[in-house]
Amino acid sequence: MTQPDNPQAPRRSTDPIDESTDPTHSQTGAPSPTTTSAPTKLIARERRANRRESIRANAAAIRRRSFTAGMWATRAPIWMWPALLIITAIGGVLRLFNLDFPHRLIFDETYYVKDAYSVFKYGYERSWPENADDSFNAGDPSVIESTPEYVVHPPLGKWIIGAGIHLFGADDSFGWRFSVAIVGTLTIFLMGFIAWKLFRSAFFACVAAGLLSIDGEHFVHSRTSLLDIVLMAFVLLAFAFIILDREFVTKRLATYTASIRPPDRSRSYALTPDSERRTPTEAVATSRARVRRPSRGKDLINFGPRLGVRPWLIAAGISLGLAMGVKWSGLYAVAAFGILVVAWDVHSRHRAGIVHPWLGMLIRDSIPAFIKLVPVALLTYIVTWAGWIRSDDAWDRQWAFENGGWWSALPDWLLWLPSLAHYHYTAYSFHVGLDSEHPYMSNPWGWIVQWRPTSFYYESPDQGSMGCAVEHCSAAITSVGNPVIWGLAPIAILVALVAWIIRRNVRAGVILAGLAATWLPWFAYQERTIFTFYTIVMVPFVVLAFTYCLTLLWGRVPITASAPTATATSATGPGDHSDPTDPADSSAPTDPADPADPAADATHHAPKPRGPMFSGSGTRIPWPLFGRRMAVGLILVAAIMAFAYFWPIYTGEVIPFEAWNNRMWNVTWR
């Protein structure tokens, strides 16, 4: 009896091999659909992957061909450096003027000035009697006790404050505040330098430096011996070093792209549709016949070069370690700036035409960059405790000797390490548990609008005392930011956020990274006692966001055939919006008068703009652009006038109570 003609019906096999268990044979003797479809799907999947790789390689070749150092190669005009020095000098004079007033410890100076004296004299903090402020104000620090004092902040900031005390004497209140005034003054110049690197505009570099010099928070902190202005200086210095590292990396990648073969000569490294249709044997034979270059060339194209020593990244790690040596909140900057370095490395490799930028960063740079940043910062931080380590009777210095544990196996000269670790544990427990009420405690949500600024000093002299000429006067030092800068700060941050998300402007993203490092971590401490004066660390990044928005408002002179000089000067002039973080941006502008330039045909017959003529540059700008630039000028003038108006409550000047009350624009400022 014959089997029905049904492919589903089983058949008896006469072959000794059981076809029911043989995956290479079907029951009909023909290849199984399952076994034939599997290789087909595998081949199709491999071809799709090859096609994607080919598209990715060709796109990378296009980016590689257009990659240059861009605006990173632009040099600052000579006049910018004297201008920044003049702005810095003016800011320094304002900060040093009448710096010794008031001649007594104010706000948290009662801790840091006395601890600075102790650290500089003994190497660690010693305790003070209960009424030590009166003796110290009178110039008699001899009341200091011989027992160690428990403090919860690292010592570096107090070492810096103590240098001024050592220079001018403990009886001079000018010396108490001299070091922080110098540190605050130097950050003005540093701000101008950073703004130049980010915006490539000498004008707006001076604008950023000037805005920082007239910000109320920065001004008050520069005249008060607190740790936060020193913390801000080291964080800002690390930020500057990271920007310099990016310039170094961009130039290194530009050298790499110039050294490899042009894309049309290296197409053997990318899979093409023809190679996909070849058999494996033909493909191998063809590749052996055509490819004469070592495999290292393909690795360079796929993953990019190693970036070398990167000295600026090491300098950033040292600066971040110094920041942590002032306050532990510098650790947030280490985390945020580390993420920034990784993201910027990937972006730079992508722009340089590297086929796999993420893998290139992980293979070539991740471990070296980590070592240059994090361990360097940690070692630098430990060095800031050198005075405590060298002492014998500082707080918790002998803890490891007095308490047994695994550390007993360590040599005696290394027992300071577990003692220091225990000290840090107790200090951390204190910080996270700090929830006592304070009249000037604030929430991070209100920091960006200066909702509850901190009053450092307030006196209410009556007529005839302290120079008061009316019935009732006030003398106050309030750490409130410049109302013009901080009033527009929320808008500036939103604009930067939109520019980063929608326009993918790396410049805005870098500024936001600085803000994230100095502001966002504090939202995790909603129940802790914190103050608005902590925002001094985020002030430079608020100023940078504000300046960035001013560059957008300033605009650019349109390119016309009648004004080629406008284009020629736009590379370093104010309002240049080419992205220096994008290496594709060339510092050499195109000449609209060149007939060979495609832009020349588009602009040769463009109408001449109507507007005021600037005889110095021979450039005529349209009225709308002139209005925008006038708006920038008015904002800057308003910021200067606001600083002058609030000068009395920045410096403790004795003024009538009504004058002080008129400057309390918000009821929460009182």
pLDDT tens string 224-270: 999 999 999 999 999 999 999 999 999 888 888 887 745 444 444 44
Give the containing element (helix H, strand E) for 594: none
What's the confidence (pLDDT) of residue 9?
44
Summary mean pLDDT of the chain = 81
CA dist 612 to 440, 498, 618, 631, Å? 51, 32, 10, 15
User: Which has more pLDDT, 446 or 647?
Assistant: 647
Report pLDDT for 619: 62
Strand-pair partners of 547: none
Residue 572 predicted with pLDDT over 60: no
pLDDT of residue 212: 97
CA–CA distance, 211 with 620 (Å, rounded to integer): 29
Task: Please say if the pLDDT value at position 46 is more than 70.
Answer: yes
The per-residue pLDDT for 8 is 45
Calculate mean pLDDT across residues 276-305. Answer: 54
* Helix (H) or strand (E) segment spanning residue 46: helix 33-66
The model's pTM is 0.82
Mean pLDDT score, 383-395:
92
Contact 91, 213 (CB under 8 A): yes
Q: What are phi and psi of 149, to 5 degrees?
A: -110, 140
- Please tell me the number of Cα atoms within 13 Å of 459 on its side-chain side: 18
- Asked if the model's pLDDT at residue 530 lies above 60, the reply is yes
| Spatial separation of the C-alpha atoms in residues 26 and 21, rounded to whole Å | 9
Which stretch, 52-66, 274-288, 369-383, 581-595, has highest mean pLDDT? Answer: 369-383
pLDDT confidence tier of residue 595, bands split at 50, 70 and 90: very low
Whole-angstrom Cα distance, residue 85 to residue 188?
Answer: 9
Query: Is 471 a residue whose pLDDT tops 80?
Result: yes
The predicted pLDDT at position 431 comes to: 67
Is pLDDT larger for residue 570 or for residue 637?
Answer: 637
Share of the chain above pLDDT 90, in %: 49
Residue of 40, 13, 9 lying closest to 29 (CA atoms)? 13
Highest mean pLDDT among 70-74, 136-140, 472-476, 635-639: 635-639
In the predicted structure, residue 600 carries a pLDDT above the cut 60: no
Q: How far is CA 170 from the centre of its chain?
A: 36
Reported as type and span, the H/E element at residue 240 is: helix 228-259
The per-residue pLDDT for range 70-85, each reduced to its tens digit, is 778 888 899 999 999 9
For residue 559, the model assigns a pLDDT of 64
| Residue 4 scores a pLDDT above 60 | no
Q: List the domain boundaries for the chain.
A: 48-75+231-261+302-395
Residue 466: pLDDT band with limits 50, 70, 90:
confident
Q: What's the confidence (pLDDT) of residue 71?
A: 78
Residue 650 to residue 439: CA distance in whole angstroms: 20
The size of the chain, in residues, is: 670
- Residue 646 DSSP symbol: T
Q: pLDDT confidence of 414, banded at 50, 70, 90?
A: confident
pLDDT, residue 462, reads: 86
**For residues 314-338, average pLDDT:** 95
